[in-house]
Amino acid sequence: MVRDHVGQDPQDEVAARFYSRIDRSRAVQQTGEGLWLVLGHPEAVRLLRDRTVSSMTRKPGLGIWDQVSSRFFMFKDAQQHLRLRRMVSDCFTPARLAELKTVVHRATRDHLDRLDEATGAGGRQADIMARVAYPVASDAICRLLGVSQVESAFLGQWAVSLSRHTTDEQFDRSAEEVLGFFREQLSGHREAPRDSGLLPIMAERALALGIDDDELLATCVLLVVAGFETSANFFGNMLLSLLWRRERFERLLADDTLVAPAIEELLRLHSPAHVVMRRTTEATTVGDTVIPADAQVAVLLGLCNRDPRVFDDPDAYRLDRASNPHLSFSQGPHYCVGASLARVELEAMLRAVLDRLPLLSLHTEQPLRWSGRFLGRGLDQLQVLAS
Ligand code: HEM
């Protein structure tokens, strides 16, 4: 018997609580602490596309993790950004995406089929984050990079534990572990090149583009950090919304042409990445406001995605919303390099769930716990009943 849920979708509650603290009548505003906020859609697009606005927002530090993350192209500008981004962006070819779609669909199906090994008593109750979202998202990144399945378990666990670290020492130990891992992988590829995956291609391009080993290693780490948790978290957020109001899930079961637009709508409302940071390098006019030079700016993507000037009835779930220019993958030069992969991956995962477990429902006897993770908002666990 599939149970429905009463009350507001818990994610709407979280969002409403957060947004109630912000004056939504002003698209650009400054907080008492001096931080600038951009929460209007056209204003965010204008700022994010402005090449004088910098992504170098991290304070330099001496730890190993600080050094690795300071090499992430996510936090670089202009040429420094482009040369590293190019090393990976051209690799997302239609052929590679098609291959990944098949891999992810198969992996999701296999993990879903094994759900009944989960708990024993109580039938097929399981935490779908641990049993499906994390392993599939990690399989996808590993397949993309060309890391073997056995090694994928290491990377998956590494990325999950990274998100739970709280001290500098833990981050540094993790950084050492993963750098050692990629150093070994890259030397393996150099000695005996395998024909699939990004690692050998990136290593070859790095030579041609004058990218040194430290930058290459940091880019490998960035792909795992940026690509693993975001997808896994969003998978959980998406399922929670679809299953909380059962009719949403049923609509997708009845009409699978809605799968792609429904993912866009849920990305608009419940993306794990709600904010990106920028720094102005000169006075910048956004709408009718001038943000001074050297200001820290938080672009609140989640609120831009609910701008009534762009989205009709912005708080409503319209799974068939025709035009959906949400900013959940950002905009401008730092537009998510993995957006096409994320879409392919999420669609394959959701389709596998609909095919395999049409009777899936939530088991929410314990309260839902959200974590403020490294790259965004996600559920620590999501208990489901598989039949
Ligand atoms: C639901 C899934 C995802 C969401 C919501 C998401 C969101 C984002 C956002 C908002 C940014 C922009 C940051 C900024 O403007 O400063 C970004 C950048 C980035 N994302 Fe994603 N992402 C997702 C999946 C992925 C995947 C699967 C990969 C990797 C394969 C990936 C790799 C990256 C990288 C490398 C960047 C940096 C791009 C740059 O600075 O040029 N992301 N992502």
Q: Token match 């534990």: residue?
A: 161
Quick count: other Cβ atoms within 10 Å of Cβ 119? 14
**pLDDT confidence of residue 309:** 97
Per-residue pLDDT reduced to its tens digit, 127-160 = 999 899 988 988 888 888 888 767 777 888 888 7
Spatial contact of 294 and 34, defined as CB atoms under 8 Å apart: no
Residue 70: Cβ-neighbour burial (10 angstroms; 0-12, 13-18, 19+): middle
Of all protein residues, the one whose alpha carbon is nearest to atom 20 of ligand 1 is 336
**pLDDT confidence of residue 374:** 46
Enter the pTM of the model: 0.94
Domains within the chain, CATH numbers bracketed: 10-385 (1.10.630.10)
Spatial contact of 12 and 266, defined as CB atoms under 8 Å apart: no
Backbone torsions φ then ψ of 299, nearest 5 degrees: -95, 115
Q: How far is the CA of 222 from the centre of ligand 1 (A)?
A: 10
Q: What is the 3-state secondary structure (H, E, C) of 40-78?
A: CHHHHHHHHHCCCEECCCCCCCCCHHHHHHHCCHHHCCH
Spatial contact of 198 and 146, defined as CB atoms under 8 Å apart: yes
| Ligand 1 nearest-atom number relative to CA 346 | 1
**pLDDT confidence of residue 189:** 61
Residues with Cβ < 8 Å from 261, sequence gap 6 or more? 319, 320, 321, 322, 324
Q: How far is the CA of 115 from the centre of ligand 1 (A)?
A: 29
The rounded distance, in Å, linking the Cα atoms of 357 and 252 is: 13
Residue to probe by mutation, ligand 1, list 48, 49, 72, 230, most atoms within 8 Å of CB: 230
Low-confidence ranges of the chain (pLDDT < 70): 1-4, 6, 116-123, 149, 188-196, 372-375
**∠ CA 178-183-184 to the nearest 5 degrees?**
100
Residues lining ligand 1, judged by CB closer than 6 Å? Answer: 55, 73-74, 85, 222-223, 226-227, 230-231, 234, 271-273, 276, 328-330, 334, 336-338, 341-342
The rounded distance, in Å, linking the Cα atoms of 73 and 70 is: 8
| Ligand 1 nearest-atom number relative to CA 278 | 16
Spatial contact of 142 and 382, defined as CB atoms under 8 Å apart: no
The tokens of 24 are what? 């939504």
The rounded distance, in Å, linking the Cα atoms of 223 and 74 is: 10
**pLDDT confidence of residue 58:** 83
The rounded distance, in Å, linking the Cα atoms of 11 and 14 is: 5
